[in-house]
Amino acid sequence: MINVKNQNNVLLFVTYFRAEFFNKIIFKTKNMKLITMKIQIYLFTIFATLTLNAQQKQTRFEIKNQMISGSDEYKISESYFMGQEFEKTECLTQIQRFSLNQEMESNRQKILQKNPNAFKQLKKLTLFQNPFRAKAGFNGYGFHTLNNQVDQNLTPNNKLLDYYCGTRTYDWINGNHQGTDYILWPYPWKNMDENTMEIISASPGIIIVKKDGFSDKNCVNNGNPNWNGIVVQHSDGSTAIYMHFKKNGITSKVVGDAVDAGEFLGLAGSSGSSNTPHLHFEVRDSQNNVIDPYAGACNSMNTESWWANQENYYVPKINRISTHSSSQYNTPCPQPENTYEKVNFNAGDMLYLRIYLRDIQTGDLIQFSLKDPNNNVVSSWNWNSPWPFYATAWAFWSMEITTSWQTGIYTMSAKYYDQIYETQFAVGTQMSTAETNMANIYIYPNPADEILNLKLDNPAEKYTIFAMDGRKIDEQKINSLKTEINIQKLAAGTYILAIQSQGVTRKVKFIKK
């Protein structure tokens, strides 16, 4: 049940997707004019195409822009904001957990039979590093959110408490969430197929359970016991459980093999009782008691953090900013999402700007600006969210490209918590894909300050740096597959790096801080 306070000039859609049906509820706020049938059908058509994965819930709000400046030809629509939540049910039943504990103990004995000193020879337990990383060459702003923590309130049935004294956790009628869930975001199924999230060992240890080969595109938390993953035991007897891996993407190491901190274990998937690709990371001490690795005022399980560098509770950021040809988001689970991303536009086209958010809170401010090919700001607006906290959310705006738009490359910027996020698109001309990882071209870090690293899979002759208005800034020969490009003298902004190889030129964007 969702309680909604009245907001003038707000149209709220609440849509619940449960397997194969949904209910649509329209709340008409006070002082709104009657909505014509035509508008209702139009809005419903847009939103009905936002097909969500089974067992997911999405709320849609219209939010007015503020402090708008710019001429009419760059007019921006009101925003549409979607907060996305995931069905919260147990990923391991009590019977399955008992079976897992038995398997762990049985495998310990087999390991000791082969090597009585196996556990004594382990490297010392270290404070945890993040149990995942982005694949090599990933240059986006972000690829995940943290959706669920360990439930500190052991009384089940909607009695919630996380380590920070919040409620970013869940329970069910007879149990509590006992781990931390890291969810791929945005485009979880597309990013799963692209192997974006690699699962790595948080600390040195020995593999005591390995599961693989099970279906990894499950859409429902239904108690499915067949999950892919790894259990690692550390030198102090504590264990880390890594669940829901993609099948056949797991380490070649077997039970009894040692792993080091940061070592590859597998890829994020949706195996077992799961409705979206993610990692469930669960820690237990040597007596099999649940450990919450995050230190906080309401952590009653342990007093100290198990992290080398504990992340803040709130990490507000934009994981992706991009331009699209449609507002639709209509791919059924578990197919990879049709993103409708587009970077090349012409007069008469509709452009849809999307941002994918992590940890957006009530009252958060995002400042937008649009720069033309001459780097002049031609439109700007502010956007405030009056809605509750969402760990996972997205919003979109629309603009019509008119004949008055100048030909060239435009830059759309969003400032959120003092961080600038940018994307580019072309009008009346062509530019490369918005991805900075193009087949055999990798650049990092991006944004960069002094040195931009260029990595190639195949030899190339030279690189050229262009300003967004087409001016050539620099050109140098490439002598190896790895090149350091000194950009210290460049002014802050966005540039195009062109790589020439065997008569073919490929382009990627980078940002100079």
Does residue 504 form part of some domain? yes
Residue 74 has pLDDT above 60, yes or no: yes
Residue 189: strand, helix, or coil: helix
Model pLDDT, residue 12: 30
Among residues 371, 401, 427, which one ends one of the domains?
Answer: 427
CA–CA dist 375, 58 (Å, integer): 37
Query: Both 152 and 175 in a single domain?
Result: yes
Give 506 or 287, the one with higher predicted confidence. 287
Domain CATH number, residue 486: 2.60.40.10
Residue 64 pLDDT class (50, 70, 90 cuts): low
Alpha carbons within 13 A on the beta-carbon side of 366: 30
Strand partners, 324: 341, 352
Residue 280 and residue 185 share a domain: yes
Q: Is the pLDDT of residue 50 over 70?
A: no
**Residue 401 within any structural domain of the chain:** yes
Within 8 A by CB and 6+ apart from 40, the residues are 26
Of the pLDDT bands very low, low, confident and very high (cuts 50, 70, 90), residue 407 is: very high
Is residue 433 scored above 70 in pLDDT? no
204 and 233 together in one domain: yes
Position 69 scores a pLDDT of 67
Banded model confidence at residue 238, pLDDT cuts 50, 70, 90: very high
184-199 pLDDT, tens digit per residue, is 999 999 999 999 999 9
pLDDT bucket at 56, cuts 50 / 70 / 90: low
Average pLDDT in the chain: 85
Cβ count within 10 A of residue 119: 19
In a domain, 33, yes or no: no
Is residue 462's pLDDT more than 60? yes
Q: What percent of the chain has pLDDT over 90?
A: 63
pLDDT-derived band at 13, boundaries 50, 70, 90:
very low
Helix (H, G, I), strand (E, B) or coil at 96: helix
- How confident is the model at residue 491, as a pLDDT? 85
What is the rounded average pLDDT of the residues 448-458? 88
* Residues 111-131 pLDDT 10s: 999 999 999 999 999 999 999
Confidence band, pLDDT 50/70/90 cuts, at residue 511: confident
Say if 435 falls within a structural domain.
no
Same-domain check for residues 407 and 469: no
Whether residues 194 and 140 fall in one domain: yes
pLDDT of residue 38: 34
Q: Given pLDDT bands bounded at 50, 70 and 90, which one contains residue 331?
A: confident
Q: What is the mean pLDDT of residues 426-455?
A: 75
Strand order in the sheet with 66-70: 66-70, 377-384, 365-371, 408-416, 419-427, 344-345
- Note whether residue 484 is domain-resident: yes
pLDDT value of position 509: 84
Identify whether residues 283 and 338 lie together within a single domain: no
Do residues 345 and 415 both lie within one domain? yes
* Confidence at residue 67, expressed as pLDDT on a 0 to 100 scale: 63
Identify whether residues 402 and 496 lie together within a single domain.
no
CATH code of the domain containing 327: 2.60.40.1930
Share of the chain above pLDDT 70, in %: 83
From the centroid of its chain, how far is CA 196? 10
3-state secondary structure of 102: helix
What is the mean pLDDT of the segment spanning 263-274? 97
Q: Has residue 21 been placed in a domain?
A: no
pLDDT at 14: 30
Q: Note the pLDDT of residue 60.
A: 57
The pLDDT value recorded for residue 58 is 60
Residues 152-179, mean pLDDT to the nearest whole number: 95
Residues 222 and 366 in one domain: no
Query: In whole angstroms, what is the distance from residue 212 CA to residue 117 CA?
Result: 27
pLDDT digits (tens, 9 = 90+) for 491-501: 888 888 988 87
Q: What is the extent of the structural domain holding 419? A: 318-427
Q: Quote the pTM value.
A: 0.77
Distances (CA, A) of 357 to 184, 304, 315: 12, 30, 10
Q: For residue 21, what pLDDT band results from cuts at 50, 70 and 90?
A: very low
The CATH number that applies at residue 146 is: 2.70.70.10
Query: What total number of domains does the chain contain?
Result: 3
**Lowest mean per-residue pLDDT among 35-39, 74-78, 156-160, 407-411:** 35-39
